[in-house]
């Protein structure tokens, strides 16, 4: 059994920082979905992307370990398209 990886996921839409304990085999898309639920973000998970160290992480079947996420890493979840400011 592999140890979990503690991460912090910042959901920019609501400025919530969500601490999670992830198994290295967890899909990046699953981590994003969990963070969005915890932050009560509007919209569908497909409307958002995940960034790690400034680059977009390909979601598909990419796991947290494959993305190179290290313990206590910060991930950012933000909308794929910018929203107009009114």
The residues near 2 (Cβ < 8 Å, ≥ 6 apart) are 23, 24, 25
Lowest mean pLDDT: which of 23-27, 70-74, 78-82? 78-82
Q: Which residue has the higher pLDDT, 82 or 26?
A: 26
Whose structure tokens read 């085999």?
25
As a whole number of angstroms, the distance between CA 81 and CA 70 comes to 28
What domains can you pick out in the chain, each with its CATH number?
5-79 (3.10.20.90)
Indicate whether 13 pLDDT > 90: no
Q: What per-residue confidence (pLDDT) applies to 59?
A: 84
Q: Tell me the pTM.
A: 0.87
């Amino acid at each position: 059994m592999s140890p979990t990886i503690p991460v912090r996921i910042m959901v920019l839409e609501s400025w919530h920082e969500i601490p999670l304990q992830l198994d290295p085999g967890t899909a990046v898309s699953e981590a994003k979905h969990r963070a969005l639920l915890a932050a009560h973000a509007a919209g569908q998970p497909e409307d958002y992307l995940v960034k790690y160290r400034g680059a977009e992480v390909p979601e598909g079947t990419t796991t947290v370990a494959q993305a190179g996420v290290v313990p206590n890493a910060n991930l950012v979840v933000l909308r794929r398209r910018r929203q107009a400011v009114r």
